[in-house]
Amino acid sequence: MSTLEQLLDREAIRDCLYRYCRGIDRVDEQALRSAYWEDAHDRHGAYDGPASGFIDGALSALKSFECSVHQITNILIELAPNSALVESKFLALQRSPAPTGQPAQVLIFGRYADYFEKRQGEWRIARRTVIYDWVEEQPAVLKSINDRFGPRVPVGGRWPDDEIYKQLNSAR
């Protein structure tokens, strides 16, 4: 495998990880499903099963979340010709309704331990295990959007209304 091929493969793997984050944060089903192979497995907290089941559950839950923000860093890729073991760190901030009625805010630091496969020239996740390094839950501060963001616009949203989709559509 040439150095150029290795660089292209590494970049394709990183793009896949970024698509996953966009899919989760924007509640974009197409982006989220495009990060996994159809037969992929996901061990994600209490969930351990087909990635399609995780995706269905996540999309359903995220519809009630006020906010979901994922950052991904420190991507280490152990590359083979058609597979790769990838460890990446993530930081997630999620704000969701709580049974008490008071919104809860959760800050999670962890790592994705992913086994990627390259099939017909495309890299996707075949197996994922989420490793939790830190979880902090706290009551969310209640503020209106205007109080929270002030004059800062545009404010992030979900598919298809988020600003990035408007820009992607106008670029096509």
Nearest to 92 by CA among 135, 42, 32: 135
Mean pLDDT of all residues in 95-101: 78
Q: Specify the 3-state DSSP secondary structure of 169.
A: helix
pLDDT-derived band at 5 (thresholds 50, 70, 90) equals very high
Nearest 5°: CA angle at 68, between 116 and 14? 25
Percent of the chain at pLDDT exceeding 90: 75
Residue 98 has pLDDT above 90, yes or no: no
Tens digit of each residue's pLDDT (9 = 90 or more) over 49-68 = 999 999 999 999 999 898 99
Q: Which residue has the higher pLDDT, 145 or 103?
A: 103
Which pLDDT does position 95 carry in this prediction?
92
Domain boundaries defined on the chain: 3-142
Residue 114 has pLDDT above 80, yes or no: yes
Tens digit of each residue's pLDDT (9 = 90 or more) over 6-42 = 999 999 999 999 999 999 999 999 999 999 999 999 9
96: Cβ–Cβ under 8 A, 6 or more apart, which residues? 61, 64, 65, 66, 103, 104, 106
Residues 62, 68: contact at Cβ < 8 Å?
yes
Residue 102 has pLDDT above 90, yes or no: no
CA distances from 92 to 89, 109, 120, 172 (A): 10, 7, 32, 31
Class of domain 3-142: alpha beta
Mean pLDDT of all residues in 116-145: 93
